[in-house]
Structure 1
Amino acid sequence: MTETLYQNLNLFNGKDDGIKDHCWFLVDDQSGKIEKLGNGAAPKADHIVDLHGKYVMPGLINVHTHITFNQFTPTGDTDISQTRAVVRAIKNLRTLLKSGVTYIRSCGDIYNIDIVLSKLINAGELTKVPRIVPAGRPYSMTGGHGDMPNWGYLVDSCDEMRKAVRRGIKRGAKSIKVMATGGVMTEQDFMDDPQLSAAEMHTAVVEAHHKHLIVSAHAEGNPGIMNAIKAGVDSIEHGFYVNDQEIKLMLKHHIYLTPTLGGAWKINTYGDKTLPKWEMNKMHNAFSDLVKNLSNAWHQGVKFTLGTDAGCPYCFFWDTPLEFEIIAKKLHTSNFASLLMNLHSAQLTKLDDHYGTLEPGKYADFLVLDHDPLKDLKAVQQKDKQVYQHGKRQF
């Protein structure tokens, strides 16, 4: 067994509000886990990496991605071959990793390609990409938000949902995504359109929870958000029109919220240049409301996770670090509170025993930055940051 010592660094461990100066940590090269961490005199090691006073923080966990989507199109460009989708997905994964994302949860990908790639990653056959909690295809009613070429499983009853989810889990899904409402990217519906029923979504929750898996719900408006909460999902995705009654229930049942605010802000700000009018009308009409509603949920204590809707229009795969800054500015949060979304992502996905913070016993997934992220969230957006997975430098 050999060990590598990382020394002369300033540490944000991902959970405590402050930077620890003059730190070091020791990594087992075989397991990729941190064995010891401290400051002052460092232990001996087989290999030494001097980080020259730079800032170290945990690798990012983006819990809302669509790696098979084309971010430069209005609707994701899902009507492509499996071969093209695989090539696109691997390219997008590498972009995510270079930006600092070391783990993702997919929220629905065509052809179940996220499942296939996750298996290759776990077998060591695909490298230099983030690890994946795959969802496979999402679950949608016929004509609903997930009814796009090669994408959603179309289910129109509890029995159909039960069989589809069981098949998805058999194929290797480790997370289940359901469509509770319409959305921005589908022309034929709106954010306040309820889609899958509470009973249908509850069926998915029961099947997933039997296997200790989590369920996320695309839920932008009402009554769909309430339907998803009543169904027992683990996270609300977007939640643009979340209200006080729903916030109370989310707090009571420990339901997370993934706001994807950066993507909404970019579409609202820049989308008129390239996106169709029907798509822009939805976002322009909703944006001021969604900022107000998300701010209300944040300040009442709902736990927000780090997710960007990467792959959707203007939700670029290199933009995960921007989400911290957008959240802090638009919702008037502290830098530390914004950065805690990354820890919440680890908790939601049940990865927090091994990822999300830097401490002994956890994997050495970390970023090396020139500047202090607690003082300036732009530090995380550094383009030439160093990115490590399991103690091995990837970028």
Structure 2
Amino acid sequence: MTSTLFKNLQLFDGLTDQIQSNAWFITDDQSGKIIARGTADFPKADRSIDLCDKYVMPGFINVHTHITSNPATFDGGRNRSETETAVDAYQNLQTFLKSGVTFIRGCGNSYDIDIKLKRMRNKGMLKHTPEIMPSGRTFSMTGGHGDHPHSTYLVDSSDEIRKAVRTGLKNGSQLIKLMATGGVMTPGDFMADPQLSVTEMRTAVLEAHHKGQRVAAHAEGNPGIQNALDAGVDSIEHGFYVTEREANQMINQGTFLTPTLIAEWAIPEFGKHTLPAWEVKKAADALDDTYANISRAFRLGVKITCGTDAGTPFNGFDQTPKEMELLTTKLGMPPFEAYQCSSINSAALCNISDEYGTLEEGKFADFQVLTENPLEDVLAVQQTDKQVYLHGKREF
């Protein structure tokens, strides 16, 4: 076994709201895991890297991503071939990692490309990309949110969704993504429109849980949020109109909430003269309600995760650090609690807490190196020339 000592660093390990000065840790070069850590005097290792008193913090885990979408085309990239989409997706993965995102969860991708890229990555064929938990295609009713060629299983009964979920799991889906409501980007439907039924979604949950996989529900308004909760999903994605009653149900059930603030914020911020007026209006009308509703859910104790909906209009794959800013400025989280949405809560949602999320012994050395203190200023994580390490090896 060969080892690497990282020394002379200011460590934010993701566990506490303290910076450990003059810190160090040692990684096993083969596994990429931390095998020892401490402060002041350090033991010997086969090689050492001096981080020159810079700040080290965990890499981000982003649990709501669409690597096959294109934030500049405004149509989700639906008109591209599989080859074009795959090349873009590979580049999007690299952009994620450069921004400090070391693990992503797919939340709906056309052609099952995230599943295929994960297989290639596992064979060492992809360079400078984060770890991937793929979802493959989403599950929607005919005419519902996400009803697009190559990106969705269309299901209109419990039997149809049962077979589709089994097919998705067979093909490699590690997350089942359901459409419980309409959405911002679909013409002709609205956040309050219920789509997949409780019975249909409960069937999907049962099939996924049989295989040990999680279920996420796109659920922006009601009654769809309530339907998804009653069906037993593991996470509510967006949840813009989550009520106090629903928040308490989420706490009791252990359901996570991924608010994707930047996706909703970016559309009225940048799209007024580019996007259809109906799309801008849907996002703008909901924005203040979103902040109030999700702030209340957070204060009540709902576990908030880090997801950006990357790939939606004006929402690039380098914007996870911006989501941290919105969590603090719009929801009132201190920086430490905003980072915990990623480091602890997102790892728990993905069932990867034993190896990812915080910088502890026995976990992967996935981290970013910053010039400024991220606990004092959340804007520190928006540094564009940060160093990014994956399993103890520098990628950027």
**Fold shared by both chains (TM-score > 0.5):** yes
Task: After TM superposition, give the deviation of residue 267 of structure 1 in Å.
Answer: 1.5
Q: Are 1:394 and 2:360 an aligned pair?
A: no
Query: In 2, are the aligned partners of 1:79 and 1:150 still within 8 Å (CA)?
Result: no
Q: Using the alignment, how far apart are the partners of 1:185 and 1:77 within structure 2?
A: 13
Map of 2:349 onto structure 1 = 348
| Match of residue 380 from structure 2 | 379
**Counterpart of 1:2?**
2
Q: Which residue is equivalent to 2:146?
A: 146
For residues 88 and 344 of structure 1, the distance between their equivalents in structure 2, rounded to whole angstroms, comes to 29
**Amino acid of the structure 2 residue aligned with 1:82:** E
Percentage identity across paired residues of the two chains: 56
Name the amino acid aligned to 2:244: D
Give 1:393's aligned amino acid: R
- Match of 2:121, SS state, is helix
Corresponding residue for residue 225 of structure 2: 225
Give 1:165's aligned residue: 165
Deviation at 1:288, TM superposition (A): 1.2
1:263 Cα offset (Å): 2.0
Output the CA distance in 1 between the equivalents of 2:199 and 2:35.
47
- Which deviates more from structure 2 when the two are superposed, residues 122-131 or residues 9-18? 122-131
Q: Amino acid of the residue matched to residue 32 of structure 1?
A: G
Matched, 1:57 2:57: yes
What is the deviation of 1:265?
1.4
**Structure 2 unaligned blocks of 5 or more:** none
Give the whole-Å Cα distance in 1 for the aligned partners of 2:248 and 2:311: 31
What residue number does 1:294 align with?
294
- Cα distance in structure 1, aligned partners of 2:297 and 2:73: 31
- Where 2:303 maps in the other structure, the secondary structure is coil
Using structure 1 for the length normalisation, give the TM-score: 0.99
Query: What is aligned with 1:35?
Result: 35
Shift of 1:149: 2.4
Which whole-Å CA distance do the structure 1 matches of 2:354 and 2:181 have between them? Answer: 33
**SS of the residue aligned with 1:69?**
coil
In structure 2, distance between residues paired with 1:145 and 1:335:
33
Is the Cα contact below 8 Å between 1:75 and 1:186 reproduced in 2? no
Write the distance in 2 (CA, Å) between the matches of 1:243 and 1:49.
49
Q: What is residue 72 of structure 1 aligned with on the other side?
A: 72
Distance 2:170 2:149 in 1: 22
In 2, the alpha carbon distance for the partners of 1:261 and 1:349 equals 20
Helix, strand or coil at the partner of 1:297: helix
Contact 1:268–1:287 (8 Å) recurs in 2 = no
Matched, 1:207 2:207: yes
Q: Which ranges of 4 or more aligned residues in structure 1 deviate by more than 4 Å? A: none
Looking at structure 2, the residues matched to 21 and 203 of structure 1 have their Cα atoms a distance apart, in angstroms, of: 51
Give the CA deviation at 1:79.
2.1
Q: Is the 8 A contact 1:155 1:164 kept in 2?
A: yes
Aligned partner letter, 1:158: S
Alpha-carbon offset, residue 302 of structure 1: 0.6
Contact 2:77–2:85 (CA<8 Å) still a contact in 1? no
Superposition pairs of residues 328-343 of structure 1, within 5 angstroms: 328-342=328-342, 343=344
Residue 75 of structure 1: how far off its partner (Å): 2.5
1:281 alignment counterpart:
281
The CA distance in 1 between the partners of 2:230 and 2:204, in whole Å, is 12
Report what 1:124 is aligned to. 124
Give the conservation status (yes or no) of the 8 Å contact 1:262–1:327: no
- Listed as ranges, the matches of 1:98-137 within 5 Å are 98-137=98-137
Q: What residue in structure 1 maps to residue 259 of structure 2?
A: 259
Map Cα deviations across residues 126-170 of structure 1 (whole Å, 9 max, x no partner).
Answer: 121011110000000000002012211000000000000000000
Cα deviation 1:255-284 (Å, max 9, x = unaligned)? 000000122112122220311111011112
Match of 1:96 in 2: 96
Give the match for residue 358 of structure 2. Answer: 357
- Find the aligned partners of 1:73 and 1:240 in 2 and give their Cα distance: 25
Partners of 2:242 and 2:294 within 8 A in 1: yes
CA offset at residue 333 of structure 1? 1.6
Mapped partners of 2:279, 2:318: distance in 1: 23
- Give the number of aligned pairs: 395
| Aligned residue number for residue 47 of structure 2 | 47
Q: TM-score, normalised on structure 2?
A: 0.99
- Alpha-carbon distance between aligned partners in 2 of 1:142 and 1:307, rounded to the nearest angstrom: 26
2:20 corresponds in structure 1 to: 20
Any conservation in 1 of the 2:268–2:281 contact (CA below 8 Å)?
no
3-state SS of the aligned residue for 1:208?
helix
Q: Is the 8 A contact 1:250 1:302 kept in 2?
A: yes
Moved more, 383-392 or 271-280: 271-280
Cα distance between partner residues in 2 of 1:70 and 1:262: 15
Partner of 1:240: 240
